[in-house]
Structure 1
Amino acid sequence: MEIVINRNLIFAENQSLKTERLTLRPVTLSDVHDMYEYASDEETCRYVFPRHQTIKETKESIANYFMCAPFGKYGIELNTTGKLIGTIDLRIESQHHIAEIGYALNKDFWGNGYVPEAANELLRLGFEELKLMRIFATYDIDNPKSGRVMEKIGMKIEGNIPNARMWKGKVVTDVMRGITLEEWQQLHN
């Protein structure tokens, strides 16, 4: 008999998560200026989403993506200042008990270990609370810094996907990395 897990309830009970330096919490319209700061920067969003041209576009993104279906989507807020410096999400494929993790971070905060810190908290939530068996992520082969984040949280290379997609007029090879429940438990025991 299969155990039924109400993942929506688990997300509802974990809308805000704290780490040593960060609060992962729902994104709201009050975050529009902090988000626009990085979403309008070409270097920050080069590999993750089209650059926002206006504040209105950022408001629409917040409303249509983050607020419309908020479970599993978190703003990354600095505990010291309350500034939103990025976002991270866990997109679950319930029938397979797996999830994909994705993130974006304001370039002014790169190199401080914030994304691995946030991602480790989502791995904990995914494996301990949501009872997932594998969490994976993909990155453009030309963006090795994103791959380094995945490596820091214990994700292993599972393969390259040549001609995976078109992105901004370029054919992209994606690299897939993942970590299983067992691998995660070995790292945290």
Structure 2
Amino acid sequence: MTQFETERLILRPMTAADHDALADMIFDPQVVAYLRYRRVQSPAAFEQLFTTHFLADTTTVFGIERRRDHQLIGFYEFHGSGATGELTYALSPAAWGHGYVAEAGNCLMHYGFETLNYETIEAHYASANPNSGRVMAKMGMQAAGELHTFTSDKGEVIHVMRYLLTKATWRQLSA
């Protein structure tokens, strides 16, 4: 089992015990507003996702657990496509603003580059959520422009921004 620890976090594969905490996140419109998981609308759809993705994938999907109370507060995952890993992350609202995603991301960048052997790691964020872009910058990622736009359920035009980090740049930053 691949597991990592930082000063405040344990990054580990999801377990059956994470079911309820993860369901709370996936069904919270604030958490998934700009994620692919916003389309998960029913308990049956969540069960399918939980079983076939979150539990089944133990090498690219990690629960973010606080060390002090062993609570699952989020998840972090890589979606690989050749030499590029796209990362997705989410936290429960009570965990926002504490630097957890950057802390987890800085740890998992090493794993993505050295173990998963990505040459580039990229992440996307919605312009309506600039805090996510700031987190990406804290992980050493660099702005790479607009990827595309879409219209939200509320009629708002959302610009999807792209950040990336190459293995070479990561190695320079880590030296």
TM-score range, shorter chain: 0.7 to 0.9
Partner of 1:99 in structure 2? 85
Q: CA deviation at 1:90?
A: 1.4
Structure 1 residues 36-47: aligned runs within 5 Å: 36-47=23-34
1:108 aligns to 2:94 (yes or no): yes
Partner of 2:22 in structure 1? 35
Partner of 1:6 in structure 2? none
User: Paired residues, what number?
Assistant: 173
Identity of aligned residues (%): 32
Matches of 1:99 and 1:53, distance apart in 2: 27
Matches of 1:103 and 1:82, distance apart in 2: 18
Matches of 1:167 and 1:119, distance apart in 2: 27
Matches of 2:84 and 2:43, distance apart in 1: 34
Matches of 1:136 and 1:70, distance apart in 2: 20
Unaligned segments of structure 2, at least 5 residues: none
Q: Indicate the RMSD between aligned Cα atoms, in angstroms.
A: 2.1
Partner of 2:49 in structure 1? 61
Deviates more, 1:50-59 or 1:151-160: 50-59
Matches of 1:129 and 1:41, distance apart in 2: 32
Rg (Cα) greater in structure: 1
Partner of 1:135 in structure 2? 121
Which amino acid letter does the alignment assign opposite residue 85 of structure 1?
Answer: I
Length-normalised TM-score, structure 2: 0.87
Which amino acid letter does the alignment assign opposite residue 22 of structure 2?
Answer: M
Partner of 1:176 in structure 2? 162
CA gap 1:177/1:46 in 2 versus in 1, 3 angstroms: same
Deviates more, 1:79-88 or 1:179-188: 179-188
Q: CA deviation at 1:42?
A: 1.9
Deviates more, 1:179-188 or 1:107-116: 179-188
Length-normalised TM-score, structure 1: 0.81
